[in-house]
Structure 1
Amino acid sequence: MLEMEENTRHETSGLTGAEVRERIEDGRVNAYVQKASRTYSEIIRSNVLTRFNAVLGGLFLVVIILGSINDALFGMVLILNSLIGIIQEIRAKKTLDALSLISAPKAKVIRDGSQTEIPYGQVVVDDLLVLHPGDQVVVDGTVVSSEGLEIDESMLTGESLPVSKGIGEGLLSGSHTVAGTGRYVAVKVGREAYAQELADKARKFSLSKSELREGIDRLLKWIFWSIVPVAVLLFYSQVRAGLSIHDTFIGTVAGIVGIIPQGLVLLTSIAFAISVITLGRQRVLVQELPAVEVLARVDVLCVDKTGTLTDGTLQTCEAVELEEGFDMSSILGAICSASVHKNPTIAAIEVNYPDPHWQLTGSVPFSSERKWSYAGFGEHGHWLLGAPEMLMEGKVHSDRISETYESYAKKGYRVLMLAKSDSAPAGIVLPESILPVALVLIAERVRQDVAAAMKFFREQGVAIKVISGDNPSTALSVARRAGIVNGGGSYDVRFLPEDEREVAEIMESFDVFGRVTPYQKQKMVKALQSKGHVVAMTGDGVNDVLALKDADLGMAVGSGVAATKSVARIVLLDGKFATLPRIVAEGRRLIANIELVANLFLVKTVCVMLIDLVTSVTGMPFPFLPRHLSLVSEITIGIPAFFLALAPNIRRYKPGFVGRILHFVIPTGSIAAIFTMASFYMALNGGASLEESRTAATLTLLLSSMWVLIILARPLIKLRILLVSSMNILMVMIFVVPFMRTFFALDFPGYRILGISGILTIISVAAIETYWRLRIRNKA
């Protein structure tokens, strides 16, 4: 008896504050942590504690100990690079965290007899939750009161028709209310809830695959493992050349610092971070930095129908008259006005038909079991509105009506019949005499920006696949209205074979798929990937979670459930598909610019590594001081790369990131190395001092690298011309201004040696340009 009274109290006044605290202490709370970004400590560690920072930091200390402060310039750059990376990522983190807070759902609960709104992560077991139209079911529970409560479970099943819920029936997290009101008691929270259980399964899959990150990491790994043998050989060669211990260490440090692309990782991180900030301003939440890049590589886009292509609302498309002589506008307007619980269907009709203010004399509310409603208006007649097959069941009606109804149903419309009867229903029993008057065609409203976005993807060679849990005909109709398909049919996935190869062939043959379960969506995504496709998946429901996580890029619609947003890499907070082309553009800018700056950095790496090897074999002094290579790096690589990495770039993505880089940097770096060493050798053996010979080598390498910058900056639009011109002016100032020339230990050799170096430099530049033009011609 006491337990029954306790349950009754919970179902009316909710839990007390003490009961809530008790459940929180016991861990029976809907606790959920959505990690949208890295912590501050993770950001600092990732930007400071790197392999190359460790190497450069060690070399920096060696130079400081030797007292050669001017040659420690690379250490200052190291510190500055790390600080810039940390600052940019913290800015990106703040953007992510702010957007995540905006997208977090709330729950209406009754506690201590009064209603309050709390974050859904604070809901506890036995909480009494309130549902109104539009509210999300945030935990699994049992209905304890219902007034025409209808739940949209399309997020779970993909089926767009709402389900009526009565007292004692279960609710699953991830669904939401479309009509009526009700209350339910929380039964399963946290990881036990359906939506969270599915999300947890999805989290077992891998993170976004970034070709940029993987390619750069592979290149850096090769460079890192080459450092130790090169350092040993170089140190030995400097000792063999008869240099002092001081000069031997300085030369070895210069050779090692020169092959490390100091700013490449930094600029990659900054470019990703700035892309996150840029997209955040457009209400796009990027939860994994590489996700920006992935969409630019996508060649198949899978989209859900309900809530993704459509906005979740219905619209009346047409009223097809079966009998003439009736005032359709007034009849439908009166029926809508008489409806106590405005479900989405009634709301869609009501928009087009105004209320004539007829006196209601009797009514039977709509029920999802009966699938019809009744409204009587005295002298204006008795009217029924519902599913044609239910209203006409057991009645004699013409084949014309059946054919008309079926033809519209096959086109994907939700068809309602308006019928006139001579009397009111006897309870819930339909009258014997019913006259079909009209068919009302209802369709899901397609998002306004979908058609333009889909046209963009088609023009870019991206295939669109509609994967829906709804009826195949309905999905096909929506796809046609969204401009995804013009002809062709749809595929009923209930007949999908088990073999992955057969599934892949079917996926290639059709564009629209209906009656798809969550696990089938996942299977279909994998089948496409088995064909070598890069697959993006959009969705908003729990039924999309597994496919979202398994796709190369999962994108959740902001109005979707928390489970989809927690596993997606990108969240469209406004649900606007118009932002998708912008994400693609941002991804393309990112890929193209990172490839460009990687070429800049790695040309110097190849060049200096070859110089290291030649120096080691010949026993010559190393042709540079560390400050010389710092000068080359900052003027021709570091400063320009920062601006080029953030510049607009709409070049389409092409696979083979690492291959293209190697095909450019190895020949170009080799040419620069050959003529730089020739310039140093001719100067050193032509009577010039070591300092003068190093100046000649620095000038050749500097001008060769400047030409590489000019090539990579093409087409030379105004801003790029300004950038290249500024770097040239800075270069001239360093050689002309006495203080700067002294700081960088530059001393011009005589005119004869300088002339020879100039000729070698011109040949180097011409060879680099010739190789570039031949490469362009062969690619064409």
Structure 2
Amino acid sequence: MLAGDRGLTAAEVAERVEAGAVNEAKRRTSRPFSAILRANLFTPLNAVIGILAVIAVTFGGWKQGLFAGVIIANILIGTIQELRAKRTLDKLSLMNQANAKVLRDGEVQEVPPDRIVKDDLVFVEPGDRVVVDGPVVESRNLEIDESLLTGEADPVAKAPGDEVRSGSFAVAGTGLFRAEHIGADSYAAKLVEEASKFTLARSELREGINRFIKLINWLIVPIAILLIVSQAADAQNWREIIVSTVAGIVPMIPEGLVLLTSVAFAVGVVRLGARKCLVQELPAIEGLARTDVLCLDKTGTLTEGGMDVDEIRPINGTAADAAFEALAALAAADDSPNPTMQAVAAHLQEKEVADPRWRVIDVMPFSSARKWSGTRFTDHGTWLLGAPDVLLDSAPDGTGDPVAMDADVLAAQGLRVLALVTAESASTTGGVTGVKAQALVILRQRLRSTAAATLAYFKEQGVAVKIISGDSPAAVGAVAAQLGVEGAADTVDARRLPEDPEELADLLERATIFGRVKPHQKQAFVKALQSRGHTVAMTGDGVNDVLALKDADLGIAMGSGSAAARSVAQVVLLDDEFATLPHVVAEGRRVLGNIGRVSNLFLTKTVYAIALALFIAVGASIAWFAGNDPLPYPFLPIHQSLINAFTIGIPAFFLALAPTFDRARPGFVKRVLKFAIPAGICCAVPTFAVYLAALAHDGYDSALPQTTAAITLFSLALAALAIVAKPYTWWKGLLVGVCAGAFVLVLAVPPFARFYELELPGVWNTTAAAIAVGCGVAALLFWLVVRPKHLRD
């Protein structure tokens, strides 16, 4: 029941809050601490490693279970980094949150969306997102875009009594509606109940890693069984066999890969947060790293949000005072002025032009689809303000209205030009007739000081830029020319675009500058470019950008833009700084490039562990059939802990957070396997061969065969690390050197060697290991250098 046209009173609001009738909206930017801890603690990999650790400690002593320290590291590092990201996301999302406007006690007040109560009267104007459901109470040409709910791009006019639903947004006019369905009862909440939970955007990187883990899970079980069966022949040393079998299974598990991926994403969120860049979906930073086409909306992206009136030029004998008076009347009648009308109003205020108080019959709000706004007055007829090439007859052959031609000349100078006209009739649905030009309103746009350098950066990085705008092609081209964009003189009028998607895609491949683009055309641009295999990022700030932002591979909204644009974008530049985008690119490239590197390391370990297990299983089976001594696995769990720590664990952590500038490429899984499989085999074969040779030379009771195999495997894994670490910097060289030195220190210092159950090798063992390492490194380098180019890419 409505509380009257003054809205609810403070007492009525308090009463509803007490009753719980509040729009408690779920936030999807982050999950609670309990969920973060649970997600990092209870994972399949942690469970497997934990079980293996218990077995190793039970049968081999506490130090054989040191490899389980990775569980604690995974939990602590993963939880801490995600909590840092959570704090950043929550803080930035509060900055990004658009307040709702409600009518209470006769005044319009701004409140957070989750403070709306049942029966509140909610006020909406262009750009406002509808956050609850209810019937319209008052409409002043209110038009609602419901495309995010229905898929229909055309705005829907709303009259009193019509329903508005959450998830839609206002594109024209103003209105009041009553909050009837709030919180979980709202339409959008029911549609996205699952999506509103903490989720990650689609990520090729994350999906690739999950594919690796599924594949490894399928391989581990049969290979582990084969290894266990082959080792079971030595029944007298069953305790040692159990421990060595655990040592064979543990390195098959890429236990740190998922952790480092999560850490890299979380650190990226925190780094970008420091630049006032809100990443609403964590792996979205991966998107711009893959982008090869960036669609830029001129207004609000290349230019700053505001603009200044340069001149109001009367035409056709219109007196300057009459033009000023009409503009003042239009400004006074517009209760939801866009930035253009705000600039006109500010200019008139400077000129001390007072509101003439013309009596209003009807207001036709601005629409990006119509390109004009207007008002019908009782005694002064119909006045419109909008694009000259829409309101005036400007034939492309030059025979059209000379006023429109003058406007084109001004627009070509980088100015924004509007036509002030009178009309015999005009409506938002029936068009305009009987137009007579009265004045040109000339505005000067403010170019962003960083725009030229940012565009130059994208050019250097091989990212094609498409500048699209609702302004005239000449104006867009002039702005592009000032920013040094190639092809600025060759502009395209979107009103003459081909309807055929293939022809449109061909045109988009060739052209760079597009003017008079309508909202649905921006969406068509994105789809056409995607049809040609491009990864498309789209920037925007207005309601006319929402459809394209939603369909782009990465939507980037400006913080001062409409709530609707911010709500559908994956990335929001809270300070409207276009120059932040190169940092988003760099962060995405850092994540993709470095996770690719550490994936090479982890998967190389998995491959050589699987290969060694197979070699040992087959060798043990052959020995058993031949009646020879059983062939034990060459390592204990503590050996694997040492090798993994200094060839993968520690260096991978630093590599995952290092800067990188390589452009992201598709085919993550295929590319990693092309390195990991040959590298793993090049590690496993020499290690197995030198182990057999050392057994024959030193005997089964000596620790030297295990030491020789450990030296060989460590050296080959370190060589793989050195290859993966490219391009080299001083700290990467230091990292590899420190890891090598640490292993040598363990061998050289007797207490360390005894702890890790190794011996200082003699001349024969050192020589054998050196020969095996040389063969393995030579084979790997031969593969990397000689293999066909299509296998290297």
* Structure 1 match to 2:527: 526
How much identity, in percent, do the aligned residues show? Answer: 40
* Structure 2 match to 1:274: 267
Cα deviation, residue 340, structure 1: 5.9
The answer as to whether partners of 2:556 and 2:572 remain within 8 angstroms in 1 is yes
Cα deviation, residue 611, structure 1: 1.2
Partners of 1:680 and 1:392 lie apart in 2 by 87
* Structure 2 match to 1:160: none
The answer as to whether partners of 2:7 and 2:105 remain within 8 angstroms in 1 is yes
Partners of 1:514 and 1:75 lie apart in 2 by 62
Cα deviation, residue 262, structure 1: 1.8
Cα deviation, residue 556, structure 1: 2.7
* Structure 1 match to 2:425: none
Partners of 1:361 and 1:577 lie apart in 2 by 37
Partners of 1:729 and 1:556 lie apart in 2 by 49
* Structure 2 match to 1:727: 739
The structure 1 residue matched to 2:178, chosen from 174, 186, 192, is 186
The gaps in structure 2 that reach 5 residues or longer are 149-155, 365-372, 378-382, 394-399, 423-435, 621-630
* Structure 2 match to 1:315: 308
The answer as to whether partners of 1:538 and 1:556 remain within 8 angstroms in 2 is yes
* Structure 2 match to 1:11: 5
Cα deviation, residue 135, structure 1: 8.3
The structure 1 residue matched to 2:692, chosen from 678, 681, 692, is 681
* Structure 1 match to 2:553: 552
* Structure 1 match to 2:418: 415
Partners of 1:302 and 1:193 lie apart in 2 by 37
2:636 aligned with 1:625, yes or no? yes
Partners of 2:769 and 2:126 lie apart in 1 by 80
* Structure 1 match to 2:30: 37
2:169 aligned with 1:174, yes or no? yes
Partners of 1:233 and 1:135 lie apart in 2 by 64
The structure 1 residue matched to 2:653, chosen from 642, 657, 660, is 642
The structure 1 residue matched to 2:208, chosen from 205, 212, 215, is 215
Cα deviation, residue 139, structure 1: 6.2
* Structure 2 match to 1:404: 406
Cα deviation, residue 714, structure 1: 3.0
Once the two structures are superposed, residues 242-273 of structure 1 have per-residue CA deviations (whole angstroms, 9 ceiling, x without a partner) of 66111111111111112212211111111111
* Structure 1 match to 2:252: 259
The answer as to whether partners of 1:554 and 1:570 remain within 8 angstroms in 2 is yes
- 1:487 to 1:406, Cα distance in 2 relative to 1, 3 A: closer
TM-score, normalising length: structure 1: 0.79
3-state SS of 2:586 partner: helix
Code of the residue aligned with 2:212 in structure 1: it is L
The structure 2 residue matched to 1:297, chosen from 290, 299, 312, is 290
Once the two structures are superposed, residues 18-50 of structure 1 have per-residue CA deviations (whole angstroms, 9 ceiling, x without a partner) of 3674599696x6553231123334323332333
- 1:712 to 1:355, Cα distance in 2 relative to 1, 3 A: closer
Mean Cα deviation higher: 96-105 or 503-512: 503-512
* Structure 2 match to 1:612: 613
Report the RMSD for the aligned CA atoms in angstroms.
4.9
Code of the residue aligned with 1:695 in structure 2: it is T
The structure 1 residue matched to 2:242, chosen from 234, 237, 249, is 249
- 1:202 to 1:578, Cα distance in 2 relative to 1, 3 A: farther
* Structure 2 match to 1:581: 582
The answer as to whether partners of 1:127 and 1:186 remain within 8 angstroms in 2 is yes
3-state SS of 1:487 partner: coil
* Structure 2 match to 1:487: 489
Once the two structures are superposed, residues 187-231 of structure 1 have per-residue CA deviations (whole angstroms, 9 ceiling, x without a partner) of 666589999599969969996332211222222222111111111
3-state SS of 2:454 partner: helix
Partners of 2:391 and 2:619 lie apart in 1 by 97
3-state SS of 1:536 partner: strand
Cα deviation, residue 726, structure 1: 1.8
Partners of 1:315 and 1:197 lie apart in 2 by 41
3-state SS of 2:703 partner: helix
- 1:189 to 1:577, Cα distance in 2 relative to 1, 3 A: farther
2:510 aligned with 1:516, yes or no? no
- 1:79 to 1:249, Cα distance in 2 relative to 1, 3 A: same
Code of the residue aligned with 1:404 in structure 2: it is D
Once the two structures are superposed, residues 484-524 of structure 1 have per-residue CA deviations (whole angstroms, 9 ceiling, x without a partner) of 65133435469764x65455445445553645345x65554
- 1:144 to 1:752, Cα distance in 2 relative to 1, 3 A: closer
* Structure 2 match to 1:118: 111
The answer as to whether partners of 2:142 and 2:159 remain within 8 angstroms in 1 is no
Cα deviation, residue 641, structure 1: 0.7
The answer as to whether partners of 1:314 and 1:445 remain within 8 angstroms in 2 is yes
Once the two structures are superposed, residues 41-86 of structure 1 have per-residue CA deviations (whole angstroms, 9 ceiling, x without a partner) of 4323332333322221211111122142111111122222222112
The answer as to whether partners of 1:696 and 1:748 remain within 8 angstroms in 2 is no
TM alignment of 1:347-496, pairs within 5 A: 347-349=342-344, 355=350, 364=358, 371=374, 400-401=402-403, 403-405=405-407, 408=410, 413-416=416-419, 439-442=440-443, 445=446, 447-466=448-467, 486-492=488-494
Partners of 1:610 and 1:532 lie apart in 2 by 38
Partners of 1:555 and 1:116 lie apart in 2 by 29
Code of the residue aligned with 2:207 in structure 1: it is E
Partners of 1:232 and 1:131 lie apart in 2 by 66
The gaps in structure 1 that reach 5 residues or longer are 1-5, 158-162, 375-383, 420-433
* Structure 2 match to 1:707: 719
Code of the residue aligned with 1:490 in structure 2: it is V
Partners of 1:762 and 1:218 lie apart in 2 by 33
The answer as to whether partners of 2:292 and 2:464 remain within 8 angstroms in 1 is yes
3-state SS of 2:5 partner: helix
3-state SS of 1:560 partner: coil
The answer as to whether partners of 1:139 and 1:187 remain within 8 angstroms in 2 is yes
* Structure 1 match to 2:153: none
Code of the residue aligned with 1:174 in structure 2: it is F
Code of the residue aligned with 2:744 in structure 1: it is V
Partners of 1:528 and 1:235 lie apart in 2 by 54
Cα deviation, residue 239, structure 1: 2.2
The answer as to whether partners of 2:712 and 2:769 remain within 8 angstroms in 1 is yes
- Number of aligned residue pairs: give it: 732
- 1:333 to 1:573, Cα distance in 2 relative to 1, 3 A: same
The answer as to whether partners of 2:328 and 2:356 remain within 8 angstroms in 1 is no
- 1:357 to 1:651, Cα distance in 2 relative to 1, 3 A: closer
Cα deviation, residue 417, structure 1: 5.6
Partners of 1:338 and 1:568 lie apart in 2 by 33
The answer as to whether partners of 1:628 and 1:744 remain within 8 angstroms in 2 is yes
- 1:170 to 1:357, Cα distance in 2 relative to 1, 3 A: farther
TM-score, normalising length: structure 2: 0.78
- 1:105 to 1:210, Cα distance in 2 relative to 1, 3 A: same
3-state SS of 1:650 partner: coil
- 1:243 to 1:751, Cα distance in 2 relative to 1, 3 A: farther
- 1:746 to 1:610, Cα distance in 2 relative to 1, 3 A: same
Mean Cα deviation higher: 603-612 or 710-719: 710-719
3-state SS of 1:748 partner: coil
* Structure 2 match to 1:430: none
Once the two structures are superposed, residues 741-771 of structure 1 have per-residue CA deviations (whole angstroms, 9 ceiling, x without a partner) of 1110002344333332333333333443444
Partners of 2:768 and 2:189 lie apart in 1 by 73
Partners of 1:340 and 1:767 lie apart in 2 by 80
